[in-house]
Structure 1
Amino acid sequence: MSLHEPEAQPSLKKRRRDSFSNADPKRVKRLHSGTQRLHYHDIGPSVNELKTRIRDVKRLLAKRIDDLPADVRVAKERELAECQRDLEKAEVKKQRSKMIQKYHFVRFLERKRATKELKRLKGQLHKLENDDRLDPNARENSIETLNRKISASEIDLNYTIYSPLTEKYISLYPNERRKQQPMEPEESNVIRTNSGEKPPLWYTVKQSMADGTLELLRDGKLGIGLSGEKKDSNNADVSLKSNTMSLLVHRKQKKPKSKIKVDGDEDAKRSSARSVQEGTRNENKRTSKEDVQGEDDDAESESDGGFFE
């Protein structure tokens, strides 16, 4: 090696690779997934975890209801009720996210269309207000008509934004244009209305605009369903309490001995009837075989010889 020859410099690509050699992509991915799992569990237990816990507590109360102390039994009953309430909330949240994902694309398209229509109507109103060539009476009538259309268009826009996320989305616009075009996959589950009709929740959005409760309506906190009326939540509470108490009463009820004896007598009667039926069936088979055999013998005696005889 000569003195004037320069030393070999490591390439930038190699140096960059060496500097990041400790950052294993798989290791980084594992770390990120672990933090995501921790963050998910910080939000609250999942639906499956709650169902497992409810099943375990129910089994404990059903098997050892007489052995458990009173304070432990009361604590387990409270835990069961809390888990059932948490399960209802988790299922509502899961259904909400499912509905958001299902109707997100259609809401987006109709929100764009409603925004465009509202902008067009406001432009017409602005031109009409600044136009002095029209007759004053005709202009007032036109302005009044446009104001009604603008109000309806504002409700349309708010419907696309604040319609309850926990319910199915009913489309505002008729499907005349979609008869000629193939339907998008995201639009296959959308309920369409005929021209001139408004979905029931449209009038609920109109009332919420006057009451200032659009955000509550969107989050489903008003308890309004697809029909535009409030859901009956009392039945759900009653069923939840009845399920909790029926499990506690189930084990305390013992079967009477007389019932067991009657069941045994019924089983004996069924078995005897079954044996009688089998005997009659076998006798019928024997008689049918004898009849067939007798007919075959008669046929052989009467035959005058064929090709295979």
Structure 2
Amino acid sequence: MRLGIAIDSRLCMSCYCCYMACKDEHCGYASALSAPQPMMGHFWLDIREWERGDSSRKIKTATVPTPCSHCQEPACMAAAANGAVYKRPDGIVIIDPVKSKGQKAIVDACPIGAVYWNEELAIPQKCTMCAELLDASGYLTHLGDPQLKVPRCVEACPNNALIFGDLDDPESAIARVIAENRITQLEPLAGRATNVVHLNIPTVFLAGTVYYPRELEEVCSGARVQVTCSETGETRETETNYFGDWEIEWLPKHKQVAIRITLAGYKPVTYTAFTDADHYVGMTYLAKE
């Protein structure tokens, strides 16, 4: 059995319910697995947000709830002395609140910055996946009972953007969610196996607007837009909407792409772009054949 959390960024709406539930559970409360979480300065469930797009014509945001990833080969455990960080048989990674005293190297070792330094107690701290609740509820011996506890962040999410369960069970809800979605692990964790699995973190989008001939100043709906990666040959397609706008998501990063716009009775338009970031590539005017 390997316990984990699947996090679907596409379903996160930045309500911070998971963040507040984590604070409610750990601020002011100690367990055998963790000292109390400080009220300020610690983000055991960090909500990482950024604005996407480079034009006022196309702006949106991305949100990635980010706890400790509970790596299968934790960098923090490798940096710890005296067994101060250990991995449980169920895969949950724990920092011992006594043995870790003074070991700031544990904080520095985390590739995603998910370990925090408690200045008052001089210890590193992070998400425990609410292991103290799981242990108290008997989760390990009654896996799947809906009456038993799950991590507080999972329990609090109104959109089911966080799913908890046994990663080793192909019939579990978490395994099904992962199989049905796009795995987009955090970039600093590339090549690492983790028990927190991120899904649907956006890559790059391109967008634009298509008009009929310039003199008409009228948007064109139903034009076909193809974006082809020059390196891989992969092609993504869409059509312009009622407002003449188009958008294609999930493009590979840092690639040269060719954009081709076609509409019956009009000359094709082709130009290139580079997917270094999300771009609104501008307005395209069609011309009669």
Q: What range is the shorter-chain TM-score in?
A: under 0.3
Q: Which has the higher strand share?
A: 2
Larger Rg: 1
TM, length-normalised to structure 2: 0.21
TM, length-normalised to structure 1: 0.20
Q: Which has the higher helix share?
A: 1
